[in-house]
């Protein structure tokens, strides 16, 4: 017995959530229906505002085509980010050196590390630098370089060259989006390249992302999902994503809110 539209709809949206893009021919084979049937399904879902049709398939609707300001982002999912920040800080041992890239979740990690005198933090983030200057007990290294006032981070050749001088224990990497098809992405190429360099200079790359980032693709790839060792997220992370990370042999820890 063939599936109804409503039954196909749930599977289509689930696959779109995980992969970020779906193909007409693949769905036709999955459901054992014609490509015309799938195209009609996608037409209906586009009219419902659930996806956007592209040649050969469809992609997930983006709620934000451009990144919100740092101040606005710092107020979004705040409790989730605080929980992730506390969890991340608990993984840092005395004597370790860690990298924090520029993000509102990594800012919460810095806040949770303030009393850790035996920890060294390296960052390219002006907000994290400002936070650390307000009482951080450990050692702080700022990468320097050209500071972009839009996203308040140091990028460019100088920052890359300084990062090349280090090999650190852990790098905590934030993201604009995470998808199985496109990996870990950011809104800005310069920031994505810096985060990619940070992954190259660490023994253990840890993704810190609240549940709203999963199934989202932004402009520039930081790394494929397989490029990280662990994910720290919040309790809103879906079972489908937890299962996907398990299949990739990536450990997931959930922060307590």
Q: What is the separation of C-alpha 85 from the centre of its chain, rounded to a whole number of angstroms?
A: 14
- pTM strictly above 0.95: no
| pLDDT tens digit sequence for 10-46 | 889 888 888 878 999 999 999 999 999 999 999 999 9
- How many whole angstroms separate alpha carbon 216 and alpha carbon 68? 15
* The total number of structural domains that make up the chain: 2
Q: Please indicate, yes or no, if residue 65 is contained in any of the structural domains.
A: no
Reduce the DSSP state of residue 224 to 3 states and report it.
coil
Q: Where are the beta strands (DSSP E) in 81-219?
A: 97-100, 120-123, 139-142, 146-148, 153-155, 168-173, 177-179, 183-186, 202-208
User: What tokens does 186 get?
Assistant: 């950011």
Structural domain for 200, as ranges: 70-254
Residue 149: pLDDT band (50, 70, 90) is confident
Residues 228 and 101 in one domain: yes
| pLDDT tens digit sequence for 127-139 | 999 999 999 999 9
Q: Report residue 97: phi and psi, to 5°.
A: -110, 130
Residues 24 and 151 in one domain: no
- How many whole angstroms separate alpha carbon 52 and alpha carbon 118? 50
Here the CATH number for the domain that contains residue 42 is 1.10.10.10
């Amino acid at each position: 017995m063939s599936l109804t539209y409503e039954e196909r709809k749930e599977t289509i949206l689930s696959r779109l959530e995980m992969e970020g893009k779906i193909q007409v021919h693949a769905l036709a084979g999955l459901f054992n229906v014609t490509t015309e049937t799938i195209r009609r399904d996608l037409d209906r879902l586009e009219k419902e505002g659930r996806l956007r049709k592209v040649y050969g398939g469809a992609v997930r609707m983006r709620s934000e085509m451009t990144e919100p300001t740092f101040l606005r982002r710092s107020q979004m999912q705040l409790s989730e980010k605080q929980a992730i920040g506390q969890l991340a800080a608990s993984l840092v041992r005395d004597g370790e050196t860690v990298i924090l890239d520029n993000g509102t979740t990594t800012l919460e990690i810095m806040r949770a590390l303030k009393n850790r005198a035996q920890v060294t933090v390296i960052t390219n983030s002006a907000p994290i630098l400002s936070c650390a200057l307000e009482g951080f007990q450990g050692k702080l290294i700022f990468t320097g370089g050209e500071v972009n006032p839009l996203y308040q981070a140091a990028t460019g050749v100088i920052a890359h060259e300084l990062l090349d001088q280090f090999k650190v224990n852990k790098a905590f990497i934030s993201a604009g989006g995470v998808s199985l098809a496109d990996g870990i992405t950011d809104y800005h190429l310069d920031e994505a390249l810096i985060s990619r360099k940070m992954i190259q200079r660490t023994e253990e790359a840890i993704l810190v992302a609240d549940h709203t980032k999963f199934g989202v693709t932004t402009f520039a790839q930081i790394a494929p999902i397989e490029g990280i060792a662990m994910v720290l997220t919040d309790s809103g992370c879906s079972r489908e994503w937890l299962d996907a990370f398990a299949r990739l042999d990536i450990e997931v820890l959930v922060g307590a809110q």
